[in-house]
Amino acid sequence: MSHMVYARLMTVDREQVLRTAAALLSRKATATMDEVAKAAGIGRATLHRHFAGRDALVRALEDLGIREFQMALDAARLDEGSALDALRRLIAETESNAALLGFLFTENQLFEGSVNEGWAELDARVSGLFQRGQEDGDFRIDLTAAWLTEALYGLVGSGAWAVQSGRVASKDYQFMIAELLLGGVTRRSVEK
């Protein structure tokens, strides 16, 4: 795992702690710092050495989530090929950080006061993808790009939760989200 290369084996894996924290906090938003520490398998003192306090932890969580989402957007190459394929790629790229992104999308608490400036840009990129799809005639135009963006977030969150709770197999994550978002529930005779 590349992110461990420079880490001394004794030290805490910062990102791993954050991922664990995201999983816990998305399940129980009022979790204590002590609970977070226990969930991450480290001492409370150590957790405190890495994150000055709860605010700093949440901020770090926000930063990591935004960073990961940005990488997912980059990796998905939204401008290449059809918007439809680009959206599939984007959904695929969200899988490895589904829990973290689910937390990011649903915890609106994060954007209290100072809305993270980085987020607006990423949001615009997603919205832009849907717009492109609409302009290209691939996506329907009776649903606004803003709504499609929100819907994607919601489905990613639901998908992460469904996998985490064991209701959906991890391997079906991409398929279920992509198929539902693209095709909807209705069964269709013959197409594609």
Partner DNA sequence: ATCTAATGAGACATTGATGTCTCATATGGT
Partner DNA sequence: ACCATATGAGACATCAATGTCTCATTAGAT
Question: At closest approach, how far in Å is the CB of 31 from DNA?
Answer: 8
Distance CA 132, CA 126 (A): 10
Compute the least distance from the CB of residue 8 to its own copies, in Å: 34
Residue from the set 108, 117, 171, 190 that interacts with its own copies by CB under 8 A: 108
- Rule CB under 7 A: is residue 63 a binding residue for DNA? no
Say whether residue 181 binds its own copies (CB under 8 A): yes
Give the largest Cα separation in the chain, rounded: 61
Write the interaction track for its own copies spanning residues 140-179; mark x where CB under 8 A is met and - where it is not. xxxxx-xxx-xx-xxx-xxx-xx----xx---x---x--x
Query: Quick check: 45 binds DNA (CB under 7 A)?
Result: yes
Per partner kind, with CB cut-offs from 5 to 8 A, the member of DNA, its own copies, none near residue 77 is: none
- How far apart CA 163 and CA 176 sit, in angstroms, is 11
Q: Which of residues 16-55 bind its own copies (CB under 8 A)?
A: 26-30
Separation of CA 143 from chain center: 22
Q: Which of 143, 155, 146 is nearest to 180 (CA)?
A: 155
- In the list DNA, its own copies, none, the entry touching 115 (Cβ below 5 to 8 angstroms by class) is none
Distance CA 134, CA 81 (A): 14
**Up-side HSE of residue 59: CA atoms within 13 Å toward CB?**
10
Alpha carbon distance 150, 47 (integer Å) = 33
Q: Is 10 in the site for its own copies (CB under 8 A)?
A: no
Contact status, residue 159 vs residue 177, Cβ threshold 8 Å: yes
Q: What is the rounded CA–CA span in Å between residue 178 and residue 85?
A: 10
Using CB under 7 A, list all residues that contact DNA: 8-12, 32-34, 41-46, 48-50, 52-55
Using CB under 8 A, list all residues that contact its own copies: 26-30, 84, 87, 106-109, 112, 130, 133, 137-144, 146-148, 150-151, 153-155, 157-159, 161-162, 167-168, 172, 176, 179-188, 191
